[in-house]
């Protein structure tokens, strides 16, 4: 439950991807990336709730996102997505098809640096497939 709550703060889309794998508990990764970048749960809550607009996100939030993506194998350190690895976390065919569509729409997003790229991709994925689990 703790894992689901924490990941929901990183947008519904990422939550859906990460919570389906019991073998790889992402909560320690989330904690480590937040700690390394000086990010709090409230920072992600503010983005999720709309209190902070994504375009106003600070670099530390963007780098915490990139840290998560890299440590989970979803992205390399240069900002290139590993779509196959992301799709491994999707539990069934209908959700997998929706995520493939979202990745096709968002996968070529490029930001100012790898941190910005990861964050921009996350925002795009949330817009494209954020309702996957309605969390």
Whole-model pTM above 0.85?
no
Residues 6+ apart with CB under 8 A from 70: 76, 77, 118
Provide the pLDDT for residue 130.
Answer: 64
Residues 6+ apart with CB under 8 A from 93: none
**Mean pLDDT over all residues of the chain?**
78
Residues 6+ apart with CB under 8 A from 88: 21
Give the mean pLDDT of 105-134. 83
Residues 6+ apart with CB under 8 A from 102: 13, 124, 125, 128, 129
Provide the pLDDT for residue 133.
Answer: 41
- 75 phi/psi in degrees, rounded to 5: -155, 150
How far is Cα 59 from Cα 85, in angstroms, rounded to an integer?
Answer: 25
Provide the pLDDT for residue 11.
Answer: 44
The residue assigned the tokens 């390399």 is 76
Topology, domain 2-129: Recoverin; domain 1 (1.10.238)
Q: Around 133, how many Cα atoms within 13 Å sit in the side-chain half-sphere?
A: 18
What confidence tens digit (pLDDT) does each residue in 65-114 have? 999 999 989 999 888 999 998 888 777 788 888 888 889 999 899 999 99
Give strand ranges (E) for 7-131.
Answer: none
What confidence tens digit (pLDDT) does each residue in 6-64 have? 334 344 445 444 443 333 556 788 889 999 999 988 888 888 788 999 889 999 999 99
């Amino acid at each position: 439950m703790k894992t689901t709550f924490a990941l929901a703060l990183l947008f519904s889309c990422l939550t859906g991807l990460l919570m389906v794998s019991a073998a790889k508990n992402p909560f320690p990764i989330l904690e480590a990336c937040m700690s390394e970048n000086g990010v709090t749960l409230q920072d992600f809550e503010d983005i999720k709730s709309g209190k902070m607009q994504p375009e106003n996100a600070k670099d530390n939030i963007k780098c915490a996102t990139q840290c998560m993506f890299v440590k989970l194998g979803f992205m390399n350190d240069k900002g290139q997505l590993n779509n196959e690895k992301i799709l491994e976390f999707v539990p069934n065919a209908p959700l997998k098809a929706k995520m493939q569509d979202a990745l096709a729409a968002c996968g070529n997003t490029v930001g100012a640096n790898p941190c910005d790229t990861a964050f921009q991709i996350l925002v795009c994925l949330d817009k494209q497939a954020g309702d996957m689990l309605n969390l």
